[in-house]
Amino acid sequence: MPLKANDPSLTSWLPVPENSDFPIQNIPFGVFLTRDDIITIGTRIGDHAIDLGALHQLGYFRDIPLTDDIFLQDTLNDFISDGKKTWRLVRNRISELFQKNNQELQKNQEHQKIVLFTMDEIEMQLPVQIGDYTDFYSSKEHATNVGKMFRDPDNALLPNWLHLPVGYHGRSSTIIPSGTPVRRPNGQTLPKGADKPVFGPSRLLDFELEMAFITTDANALGEPIKIDEAEDYIFGLVLFNDWSARDLQKWEYVPLGPFLGKNFASSISPWIVTLDALEPFRVASPKQDPHPLPYLAQKGKKSFDIHLEVDIRTEDGSQTTLSRTNFKYMYWTMAQQLAHHTINGCKVNSGDMLGSGTISGPTPDSYGSMLELSWQGTKEIPLADGTTRKFLKDHDTVVMKGYCSRDGVRIGFGEISTKILPALEL
């Protein structure tokens, strides 16, 4: 089925501001609370949110086989379960309905009043019920930097790293949408030189600039997903901030890996941009040497050219860009991550979320965490308000953004904006 919605020449009868992340070629999916306190599934063009539940009730999807209540839900899981063919039919139909020359809804003011909202009238929710969350460690630059700091500068990558996408199972209960503040966690840390831990607020609070993809029901228990088919089971991507307390992490992580230093919060951007919308922005991933084992060997361009940025906004309102990087730097691709995740028969469900791991580029201004930017707290990072940071302070707001750009079309993810609150006094 052709991806008609990706045609760069399309324009919409809805206004789209210059440099908007949401032209008619994007058509992301999300869940929002309307001005009437109703939760619905929707999409976005420019600064308008579109209620897909209402559109469906008014008959605008009558030619697509959909259950009546598919969009009248508080998560996208059932829609995602319908599979790629349905996602494409719906995205193409939305595209058609909002094209400049289409009069169906454009001439119907009554229907527009029911289905259109401005962004300030709605409140974005988590788009999916996330059953399971896995986080990878797939940026070679990030893994090398962390290995240099924590282990041996001459052998920064462990022997397995170039042979498989290393990952761990995270915690889905604390994944939150943009706008929800994060409280600095309390926990055990081992002060430098001490032989006993102390308890208190984390002093090394950090972000991790990542992207995450959301899967559909992909396999039966015991059945691996073949690498050539893996992308068929990826619904779309969001920006992902995997909050990390480095001092808690350092004390607890051996021998089983991340635990309380990671599971207090992870933030996502609320609109899921479909893999279909990202199709024009495919690029080759970094050359892999040694060549991966056959079950991880991929053909064609399996990465995406997504510009990423992380900013910090301080209490005076000033904003400093800390890092600019790109999703294309990831050594292991999403297809390889999904193929590896299921090679032992692990079952993947609709709404599972798989994080890329911190995305660091090759240069110091492209590192995806404070840990790397301040090189483990050995460098001060200057901010626009005249202060400096090694790690994050209370009341800082971390903002992550991402977009693709080609042939005059910009497809973006919006942003994740999260304010840090002081730790609870325990």
List the binding residues for Mg(2+).
Answer: 242, 262, 266
As given in the structure block, the two tokens for residue 381 are 């990072």
Q: Shortest approach of Mn ion to residue 135 CB, angstroms? A: 4
Q: In angstroms, rounded to a whole number, what is the distance separating the alpha carbons of residues 113 and 101?
A: 20
Nearer Cβ to Mn ion, position 242 or 415? 242
* Residue among 141, 206, 242, 252 that touches Mn ion (CB under 5 A): 242
* Residue among 51, 132, 135, 415 that touches Mn ion (CB under 5 A): 135
Looking at the DSSP bridge assignments, the partners of residue 99 are 12
Annotated binding site for Ca(2+): 135, 208, 210, 242
Q: Shortest approach of Mn ion to residue 356 CB, angstroms? A: 8
Annotated binding site: 135, 137, 151, 208, 210, 242, 249, 253, 262, 266, 358
Q: Is residue 288 within a helix (H) or strand (E), and if so which, with residue range?
A: none
Q: In angstroms, rounded to a whole number, what is the distance separating the alpha carbons of residues 42 and 54?
A: 9
Nearer Cβ to Mn ion, position 135 or 372? 135
Measured at the CA of 139, the angle between CA 403 and CA 23, to 5 degrees, comes to: 10
Give me the residue whose beta carbon is nearest to Mn ion: 242
As given in the structure block, the two tokens for residue 65 are 């086989």
Q: Is residue 338 within a helix (H) or strand (E), and if so which, with residue range?
A: helix 334-342
Q: In angstroms, rounded to a whole number, what is the distance separating the alpha carbons of residues 355 and 300?
A: 22
* Site track 303-342 with Mn ion (rule: CB under 5 A), x = hit: ----------------------------------------
The CA distances from residue 407 to 59, 168, 284, in Å, are 34, 38, 18
Q: Shortest approach of Mn ion to residue 136 CB, angstroms? A: 8
Is 142 annotated as catalytic? Answer: yes
Buried b (16+ CB within 10 A) or exposed e, 154-192: eebbeeebeebbbbbebbbeebbbbeeebebbbbebeee
Rounded (10°) CA dihedral 137, 138, 140, 141:
-70
Q: Shortest approach of Mn ion to residue 22 CB, angstroms? A: 27
Nearer Cβ to Mn ion, position 135 or 141? 135
**Is residue 206 involved in binding Mn ion (CB under 5 A)?**
no
Q: Which stretch binds Mn ion (CB under 5 A): 86-94, 129-137, 248-256, 346-354?
A: 129-137
Catalytic choice (48, 142, 340, 341): 142
* Residue among 21, 82, 141, 208 that touches Mn ion (CB under 5 A): 208
Burial of 290 (0-12, 13-18, 19+ CB in 10 A): exposed
Cβ(305)–Cβ(327) below 8 Å: yes
Q: Which stretch binds Mn ion (CB under 5 A): 132-140, 196-204, 225-233, 338-346?
A: 132-140
Nearer Cβ to Mn ion, position 23 or 261? 261
Q: Which stretch binds Mn ion (CB under 5 A): 190-198, 240-248, 303-311, 387-395?
A: 240-248
As given in the structure block, the two tokens for residue 265 are 């919060």
Q: Shortest approach of Mn ion to residue 368 CB, angstroms? A: 9
Cβ(281)–Cβ(411) below 8 Å: yes
Tell me, by CB under 5 A, how many residues bind Mn ion.
3
Give the active site residues: 142
Q: What does the binding site for Mn ion look like in residue numbers (CB under 5 A)?
A: 135, 208, 242
